Amino acid sequence: MSVDNLTICDRCGSDACYVQEINDKIKNHMCYGCGFITNSLMKQGEQFWEEQFPLLPNLYKELCGEDEKTGLIWMPNTVNLSDKGMVFAEGQSAEKWSWAAVKAVPMPEEEKEAFQAKGKDYEFKMDMTTIKYFDESDFIEALDYIGVFEN
């Protein structure tokens, strides 16, 4: 049984950190204040972390940070909602980055058919012409831009 909670974020101090207890060993943390995520398996020496870290984009690797108290490693979140859009960290380095947000748009029929011929069925696609950039502290505004809080 999972338990969900809003708590204070150990990374940024925001009161908008969503904690989801998956089981007695795994807790996910997703902060709407800073836009960073972690979980109980994101620690040095954990097999999950050791396997996943090499696969991260370089910017995400640079932005990862270890909490001195808990040992949890926080990294930028990527939100990808097929019918709304996507929010992700983008930039040249940890010193020069921002949140990028793009909106999803209905997939044109001819593109749908091309994907269906390959056994894939998509209703929406990310429209890179809608990309908008948000400051590091404006993660929630980036989510709002793609319509996460709309019904």
Tokens of 3: 């338990």
Q: Give pLDDT tens digits for 33-75.
A: 999 999 999 999 999 999 999 999 999 999 999 999 999 999 9
The predicted model scores a pTM of: 0.90
- Cβ atoms 18, 31 nearer than 8 A: yes
Residue-level pLDDT, tens digit, the chain, 151 residues: 455 689 999 999 999 999 999 999 899 999 999 999 999 999 999 999 999 999 999 999 999 999 999 999 999 999 999 999 999 999 999 999 999 999 999 999 988 888 888 888 889 999 999 999 999 999 999 999 999 998 7
Q: Which residues contact 105 (CB under 8 A, 6 or more apart)?
A: 124, 125, 127, 130
